[in-house]
Amino acid sequence: MSLKVCKFGGSSLADAEHFLKVRAIINSDPERKVVVVSAPGKRFSDDVKITDMLLLCHSMLEQGLDIAPVFQKIRTRYKEIVQDLNIDIHIDALLDETENDMRTIATKDFMASRGEYLCGKIIATWLGARFVEPAEFLQIESNGLIKEETYERLGEQLKGDGLVVMPGFYGCTPAGKVKTFSRGGSDISGAVAARAVRAELYENWTDVNGFMMADPRLVENPKHIETLTYKELRELAYMGANVLHDESIYPVSEPGIPIEIKNTNDPDGSFTRIVARRPKDDRIVTGIAGRKDFYLIQIEKILMNKMVGFGRRFLQIFESHGVNFEHAPTGIDTMSVIVRKEFIGEQLPSILEEIKRTLQPDRLEVTDNLALIATVGQGMIRCVGFAGRLCTALSKRGINLQVIDLGSTQDNMIVGVELNDFEEAVRAIYEEFEQ
C-alpha cells in the first residue's frame, strides 16, 4: 500500500480542539501512516509557543535562574490537552521526568526539543500508535545534512504495521547528542521521514490553505498558488515565506516526492502542491516574499577592477569571521555585501575595522535598515521589461531602491528597500503583478 507522511505544525496542535481535527484527518485516509508532530504553537496572537518557553528556560538556566515558574506554564498547556481529551497517560510523571532531564542535560538543543518530544508521546498514546524516537535514528551532520544511511535506518523504524508518530524538529549528532534543526524545522523532519519511507506524498498540515502569492499578514486576501516548483518554494521560503522551512525540499526533491500544504481547519479546501516541474502558464510572478534586518556594506575604491583578487579579499574577511553573505552586487569601482544581521551579530565593528585596515577603501558605508524582497517566478524571463515594471511600481509610491539583484537565471529578482518601506513595497509589487 502506498504511504503518506503527514506533518502537523504547531498551529495545528495548539490545543485539544485542534488535536481532534488532527485525529479526524489521520483517520480519514488509511494511507496516512506516518505522523510527524511539532510542539503546540500559539492559540491566539499574543500566546507563547511551547518552543519559545523552552528556549526561555534554557536562557534562565544559563543565568542561574529558577525555571520552575516557566515550566509550570508548559506543564499547564500539556495537562489541559490531556485532560480535555481524557488521554490515558501518566502526564505528571512524564512532565516531572522531562523537567528533571532538562535540568540535568541542559543543552539548548535538548531543552528546545522537549516540546516535540512531549507532544509526540501524548499523541502516540492517544492514537494507539508506535512512538519513534528521532534521537536514535535521525542523524544530522554538523552541516545540517542527512546521510543516506540515516534514511535507511529511519525507514526501517517508520515502516511496518499500524500508525507511527515521530516528533519533529530534532534528531541527533553523529556522537548521539540531541540536535535540533533551525526554527520551523519540523517541516524538515517530515521531509526526511517521507524520503525514509519512500512516501507517495508528503502532506504538510498548517493553518492556511497553502502558499499565497504574498504573506497574508502583509497583503489582504492574496491569490492562492496552486502549484509551485521545489526551486520556487526554496527561494520564497528562504526569503521569508515561512509557511514551509526552505530546507524541507532537499530530502524530497531528489526522489521527486510531492509536497502538499494543507489547512487543518479546512481539510477539503484548496491547497498548494509542490513538484519538480510545473507546466508553463501565463503567470509572470509566482510569489513575493521578504525579510527584514539586513546590513548592506559597500566599499568604493578607484580602479578596483584592475586589482586582481580584491573581491576575494573583501569576501574573505566575512569568511574568516564565519559570516555567510546573501548577495554581493558589484560595480567597476564598488563592491557591496548584503548580510543578515543575525549572522553578523556582534562582529560588525571588527569586520569593518579589518576592511579599513586591509583594503583601505576610498569609501566604506553601512546601511543598517535594509529589507530585501524577492519576486520569484519561472515566467519572469519571458516578460520583456519586467524589471522596469517592478521598479516603476515602487517609484510611483515614492519607494527608494537601495539595491537590485536580478539573479543569473532571471527567475528571482531581489530588491532592497528601507525597513520603513518594506510592507508598502511588498504590496506595490503584488498589485503590479497580481494579474
Is the Cα torsion angle 19, 24, 27, 31 positive or negative in sign? negative
Among 21, 49, 234, 262, binds ligand ASP (CB under 6 A): 49
CA dihedral of 197, 198, 201, 206, whole degrees rounded to 10: 40
183 binds, among ligand ASP, ligand ADP, Mg ion, none (CB under 5 to 8 A by kind): ligand ASP
Residue type, 314: F
Residue 220 Cβ, how far from ligand ADP at the closest point, in Å?
Answer: 13
Closer Cβ to ligand ADP, 107 or 242, answer by number = 242
115 binds, among Mg ion, ligand ADP, ligand ASP, none (CB under 5 to 8 A by kind): ligand ASP
Q: What are the residues facing 227 on neighbouring strands?
A: 273
Alpha helices per DSSP H over 205-324: 230-238, 249-253, 310-320
Under a CB-based contact definition with an 8 Å cutoff, are residues 81 and 95 in contact?
no
Residue closest to ligand ADP (Cβ): 9
40 binds ligand ASP (CB under 6 A): no
Residue 9 Cβ, how far from Mg ion at the closest point, in Å?
Answer: 5
Residue 48 Cβ, how far from ligand ADP at the closest point, in Å?
Answer: 14
10 binds ligand ASP (CB under 6 A): yes
Residue 10 Cβ, how far from ligand ASP at the closest point, in Å?
Answer: 4
- Total residues at interface with ligand ASP (CB under 6 A): 14
Among 115, 134, 171, 210, binds ligand ASP (CB under 6 A): 115
120 binds ligand ASP (CB under 6 A): no
334 binds, among Mg ion, ligand ADP, ligand ASP, none (CB under 5 to 8 A by kind): none
Closer Cβ to ligand ADP, 49 or 301, answer by number = 49
Residue 245 Cβ, how far from Mg ion at the closest point, in Å?
Answer: 7
Contact letters for ligand ASP, residues 178-197 (x by CB under 6 A): -----xxxxx----------
Residues whose CB falls within 8 Å of the CB of residue 433, separated by 6 or more in sequence, listed in order: 284, 285, 288, 375, 389, 390
251 binds ligand ASP (CB under 6 A): no
Query: Rounded to 5 degrees, what angle do the CA atoms 256, 148, 273 make?
Result: 20
169 binds ligand ASP (CB under 6 A): yes
Residue 209 Cβ, how far from ligand ADP at the closest point, in Å?
Answer: 8
Alpha-carbon distance values, 364 to 59, 327, 359, 367 (Å): 36, 17, 10, 10
Bin 278: left if φ > 0, else alpha if -120 < ψ < 50, else beta.
beta
Q: Rounded CA gap, 267 and 19, in Å?
A: 14
Among 12, 51, 125, 375, binds ligand ASP (CB under 6 A): 51
Q: How many CA atoms lie within 13 A of 417 on its CB side?
A: 24
Q: Rounded CA gap, 22 and 153, in Å?
A: 27
Residues of this chain that interact with ligand ADP (CB under 6 A) are 9-12, 38, 41, 184, 206-208, 211-212, 214-217, 241-243
Closer Cβ to Mg ion, 232 or 246, answer by number = 246
Residue 16 Cβ, how far from ligand ASP at the closest point, in Å?
Answer: 18
Under a CB-based contact definition with an 8 Å cutoff, are residues 337 and 328 in contact?
yes
CA dihedral of 369, 375, 376, 378, whole degrees rounded to 10: -150
**Residue 162 cell numbers, joined:** 499500524
Residue 52 Cβ, how far from ligand ADP at the closest point, in Å?
Answer: 13
Closer Cβ to ligand ASP, 42 or 224, answer by number = 42
Residues whose CB falls within 8 Å of the CB of residue 408, separated by 6 or more in sequence, listed in order: none
Closer Cβ to Mg ion, 13 or 417, answer by number = 13
Residues whose CB falls within 8 Å of the CB of residue 22, separated by 6 or more in sequence, listed in order: 8, 12, 13, 123, 205, 264
Closer Cβ to Mg ion, 42 or 278, answer by number = 42
Per DSSP, the residues of 171-210 read EE-TTS-EEE-STTTHHHHHHHHHHHTT-SEEEEEESSSS
Smallest CA-to-CA distance from 169 within 74, 55, 39 is with: 39
39 binds ligand ASP (CB under 6 A): yes
Exposed (0-12), middle (13-18) or buried (19+): which is 273, by Cβ within 10 Å?
A: middle
Residues of this chain that interact with Mg ion (CB under 5 A) are 9, 184
Closer Cβ to ligand ADP, 14 or 304, answer by number = 14
Residue 60 Cβ, how far from ligand ASP at the closest point, in Å?
Answer: 18
Residue closest to ligand ASP (Cβ): 186
Closer Cβ to ligand ADP, 211 or 318, answer by number = 211
Residues found near ligand ASP in the complex (CB under 6 A):
9-10, 38-39, 49, 51, 115, 168-169, 183-187
